[in-house]
Amino acid sequence: MFFAHKDLLFSMLSRALPDQKFIQLKPFGLKSIPLKRAYWLIVHLKENRPLLLLASKIFLLILLQLFFYSYTTDTYDERWLQFGMLCAVFINFPIWLEKKEFEQGKLGYFLNLPRPFLRKAWLHFYSTLQILAPELLYLLIHFPDLSDVRQVLSLLLLLISLNLGLYALINATKASAYLPRNAVISFFSLFFLIIFGFPVLLISGLGLAAFLVSIRSNYNQ
């Protein structure tokens, strides 16, 4: 028995080793890192709609520059900048439309899962801040052109709240044929509120109220 095991061991050791196959490792990058849902929209736009994101932001910054330049000539009052924020909001219209299609298409499974109200509100708010980063940074850079901190905060509040309200409008319009009409009505309604000097808190409150109502259900977005 001992010699039999010895012969078997000797025959196994005398065989040539098999060729080793090298396993190619996947390169490590951003795509290998699991992203939280708050970043899905900005990554989707970066990878699938980069021209939409880039073109809208370039045009938006040029528009804001024109509004601020004309404001510094002391020809217009604060309502001129508020109107500029309104125009900037509706330039983002294609982005919020893309967000709706992205969520109802690729993220349709997640819409069937109940989520707490505060968590939904935070996810939408945080993803909105990512999209609005160029505009927010522009306002902060041009802080010296404004009269005081109150004016800066009012413009920031108006920009964020109306963008949230516009997304709520797009999301609430079930028939796409009615979307242009609803957008035009909303734009001119807000325009007249600004022209007639209604408080920024009231105008911003309308946008925030529309947004909060749109996500009130656990199964809505």
| Helices and strands of the chain, counted as H and E runs | 11, 0
Question: What pLDDT was estimated at residue 146?
Answer: 81
Angle at 172 between CA 169 and CA 175, to 5 degrees: 105
* pLDDT of the residue at 61: 95
pLDDT tens digits, one per residue of 68-125:
999 988 888 899 999 999 999 999 999 999 998 888 776 666 666 677 878 888 888 9
* Residue in this structure with the two tokens 């298409």, named with its chain if needed: 105
For residue 138, what pLDDT is reported?
93
Stretch 2-9: mean pLDDT: 46
Cα 85 from Cα 197, distance rounded (Å): 15
Burial 17-31, CB ≥16 within 10 A → b, else e: eeeeeeeeeeeeeee
CB 212 within 8 A of CB 122: no
pLDDT tens readout for residues 16-63? 544 444 434 344 344 444 556 677 888 889 888 999 999 999 999 999
The pLDDT assigned to 43 comes to 87
Q: What is the pLDDT of residue 189?
A: 97
How many degrees, rounded to 5, is the angle at CA 131 between CA 125 and CA 136? Answer: 90
Q: 5 versus 7: which is more confidently predicted? A: 7
Per the rule left: phi > 0, alpha: psi between -120 and 50, beta: everything else, 74 is left
Question: What amino acid is encoded at 46 in this protein?
Answer: K
Percent of residues, the chain, with pLDDT higher than 90: 50
Specify the pLDDT at position 15. 54
Name residue 199's amino acid: P
Q: Where are the domains of the chain?
A: 38-214
Q: Answer yes or no: is pLDDT of 220 > 70.
A: no
Which has the closest alpha carbon to 53: 101, 103, 102, 95? Answer: 95
Query: Do residues 221 and 118 touch, judged by C-beta distance below 8 A?
Result: no
